[in-house]
Structure 1
Amino acid sequence: ADRVDPIRDWSVRRTYLAGDFRSEDLVAAKAGRRVSVVLPARNEESTVGVIVAALRSELVERVPLIDELVVIDSHSVDGTAEVARAAGARVVAQGDVLPALGDVPGKGEALWKSLAATDGDVVVFLDSDLREFDPAFATGLLGPLLTEPGVVFCKGAYERPLDDGRTVLPAGGGRVTELVARPLLAAHWPA
């Protein structure tokens, strides 16, 4: 007899590809909600401008999907803030957000503080150090959030090489997956 596997069934129903969603369709699916895209950044002047420019061109100007494009600068000592601003992002210094609660350099601090620095009903976090960025990364995350009732959290997945300066591991990256997504899923969905 065929057994129903609820975990496999859920996984099949809740796994999406960025190509499943067209940005034009997502604009209508916003239904009055504001979309904020946040890029936490620390010393990312070589990549953040290209990412911001691509998002602004494709998903702010061509298709009005993103309402707010913000770079949270986590104490960069390079030109990250200037490059991001020149490319069209609103740049917020991490230390200027909720200063009474302290300020610890790092991505986690930039992420949670960004919630106080933005006003979107839907917030998407994108990495600011990607070398082969595609605006479809944003639409792939927004698609389920805007079109699937009950979906309130989405985590993207893609091959992320880890370059430690000596060698490149083809699939060795993904700190957020290991430090946030897996523990979150384990806590709320251990099966």
Structure 2
Amino acid sequence: MTVVQASFSLQLSAVVQLIDGFTGLPACAPALFTVDGLAAHPLPKSQGFHAFTDLADGPHRIEVVVDGFFPQACTVTVPPPAPLAEAIVVCTLAPDPLYPYPAWIPVILGQVTGPLGTPLGDVAVGAAYPSRSGASRRLETRTDRVGAYDGRYALGLTGRPDPNALVTLSFDKPGYASQTSTVVISSAATHFVDVALAPE
């Protein structure tokens, strides 16, 4: 399969679709990519699709940076399987503390640290809370592992949370004792919950 642009024939190697982890919709903002640590310039398409061309056969690690989201990585294998629909790699972007949440969304921000205050990345963070209808809801994310947001997380509580609802947060990472924390939220407010995990 080939991609033709400006009279040049390029061999399609991989297709990645970026998804906004909060809305679930395609993320169409400008993105910076690297492939195996080197800057890459895929062909941007509509609906958050990006087409990578002329990659060598074998697995490749693709990293992407988009404003408002934590850096994310995915793996593609060249040549892609057929049909093309099965070759699309979906890369879901987790909102960072600068994500433009709607004004009516309660937001919980924080940082997870380990011994001596060292930031901990890849911590699984869960939030359980009741909606206004009384239904139980749960959201999950992970702490960032690189850069300025190392150890930080961001959660926008969807599903019309009950006003003054009690949110139970859970923090889990292999090699560390799991921990829970609670916070009472108010509508359209930002809450900060930092946690320190102890090694097992």
Provide the TM-score with structure 2 as the length reference: 0.24
Structure with bigger helix share is: 1
Structure with bigger RCO (C-alpha 8 Å, 6+ apart): 1
Q: Rg: which structure is higher?
A: 2
Structure with bigger strand share is: 2
